[in-house]
Amino acid sequence: MKAVRFHATGGPEVLRYEDAELPIPGVGQVRIQVAGSAYNPADGGLRGGFLPIPVTLPHIPGYDVSGTVDALGDGVDGLAVGESVVGFIPMDADGSAAQYVVAPADALVKAPTSIPLADAAGLPSVGLTASQALFEAGELKAGQRLLINGAGGPVGGYAVQLAKRAGAYVIATASPRSSEIVKAAGADEIIDHTAITVLDAVTEPVDVLLNLAPITPDGFTALVARVRDGGVVVSTTPTVPTPGDEQRNVRAATIFLHPDADVLSHLVGLVDSGDLHVEIARRVPLSELPAIHQQADAGEIHGKVVAVPPGV
């Protein structure tokens, strides 16, 4: 099969589009004929050796997958050959940037039927991150005010949609490039952070602050002043400590994404009911994935990119 692999960590130049052995599913695993493999920034971190996740070289990146079940390992129930699935798969094992990948059966759910199967790869990790940030860490409830700093990216788009569906009032920061997408997602207020500071724009306290953007420790700490007493600060950027305020009982929580098939299945249901929109910016042949890594390192990737293997 064809795959994109790196035999040593480093820059995008270490990625090779080459032949690799067809994987065999083990106990509790299935093999998937890949329809789509979504690129995520953590793929670049793994490739560069920056993340504390051990991988065996050569390594195939890609932890978001959509495709068709091709073979079953022993002990697999609930999935059948030929079934369309989607999943967030382990980051330390060979991933989905290939024609075939093996994955734990319990990490997979039936794929949405209302969108192209390849596009469904754009849902798992970012959708789960948004849900876990809002509802597990942030405990967001109907009627609360939510500030999303950095809503223009893929996680932000899902966060806005899910928060609005939950009955929250959503204030979102976005650049002019992404403001239309954030508006379409349902944000009640959009702050152009290139024209005004968030501190100046937000004049009333919020119940939950969700940070999805690169931010300095001082800048993050300053934003906590806009969170009401007893509120929550949630962040998906573990490189910067998440600040709280003990004196005002403002809780701090940092998100570390974890698999959750039940929540993912719920998100798929929302996609098929029309309550959640999957936004794909670009689809590229799998052979072009090294170029996507290069563009991402240069800050030139905006929105979700899905790589499509040959033969799909």
- Rounded CA-CA distance 210/148 in Å is 5
Q: Would strands 64-72 and 84-88 be described as parallel, antiparallel, or unpaired? A: antiparallel
> pLDDT (tens digit, 9 = 90+) per residue, 44-89?
999 999 988 999 999 999 999 999 999 999 999 989 999 999 999 9
pLDDT tens-place string over residues 235-286? 998 889 999 999 999 999 999 999 999 999 999 999 999 999 999 999 999 9
The pLDDT score that the predictor gives to residue 194 is 86
Q: Can you give the pTM of this predicted structure?
A: 0.95
Residue 117: pLDDT over 90: yes
Asked if residue 259 has a cis previous peptide bond (ω within 30° of 0), the answer is no
pLDDT at 82: 98
Given a cut of 70, whether residue 312 has pLDDT beyond it is no
The pLDDT of residue 43: 96
Q: Which residues contact 178 (CB under 8 A, 6 or more apart)?
A: 151, 152, 153, 302
Weakest-pLDDT range from 126-140, 173-187, 202-216: 173-187
Q: Quote the pLDDT of residue 32.
A: 98
- To 10 degrees, the CA torsion angle through 213, 214, 217, 222? -40
Region for 98 from its dihedrals, namely left if φ exceeds 0, alpha if ψ lies in -120 to 50, beta otherwise: beta
- Quote the CA–CA distance of 227 and 125 in Å, as a whole number: 27
Across the chain, mean pLDDT equals 95
What pLDDT is recorded for position 171? 97
Q: Work out the average pLDDT over 206-225.
A: 95
Domains by residue range for the chain, with CATH: 2-123+278-308 (3.90.180.10), 126-254 (3.40.50.720)
Q: Could you read off the pLDDT of 6-20 as tens digits, one per residue?
A: 999 999 999 999 999
* pLDDT tens-digit map of 37-54: 999 999 999 999 998 899
End-to-end CA gap in the chain? 13
Question: Given pLDDT bands bounded at 50, 70 and 90, which one contains residue 23?
Answer: very high
- pLDDT of 30: 98
Whole-number pLDDT of residue 238: 81
pLDDT at 311: 85
